[in-house]
Amino acid sequence: QVQLVESGGGLVQPGGSLRLSCTASPIIFGINDRYWYRQAPGKQRELVAAITSGGSTNYIDSVKGRFTISRGDAKNPVYLQMNSLKPEDTAVYYCHIATRLNNYWGQGTQVTVSS
C-alpha cells in the first residue's frame, strides 16, 4: 500500500516562502499527473496546481506567479514552491499522484500565513 507524506508546511509571515514536498513509500512507478490541492477551514478542497507527465503546468488564478509546481523522482514525485504567501493561502495542503490504475493522496500538511 503506497503512502504519501507531505512535509514543509508551517507558520510563515505574509510575504514569506515555503517549499512543500511529497514523499512516497514505497516509491511509485508509472506516474502520470501530479497535483497539489488545499482545503481551508469551512471551504471545499480546491486544486491549486497540476503538472502532467509531459511537464505542462496549470495553476488556479490566485496563485499564478507566486507558486511553482515541479516534478521530482519516484520517491519524491512532486514539490510546491510557494512565494509571496498571503493569509488567504492558509490551508491544509495535499499532494495527489495519479498513475494509469491508481490515485494516491497524502494526509496533508498545514500551512498558516499570519503575522
DSSP 44: -
pLDDT, position 1: 87
Q: What is the pLDDT of residues 102-113, one digit of tens each?
A: 999 999 999 999
Q: What is the pLDDT of residues 12-46, one digit of tens each?
A: 999 999 999 999 999 998 888 999 999 999 999 99
DSSP 17-44: -EEEEEEEES---SEEEEEEEEE-TTS-
The CA-CA-CA angle for residues 48, 39, 90, to 5°, reads: 85
pLDDT category of residue 50 using cuts at 50, 70 and 90? very high
Do the beta carbons of residue 96 and residue 23 sit within 8 Å? no
Which amino acid, 78? V
- Average pLDDT of every residue of the chain: 96
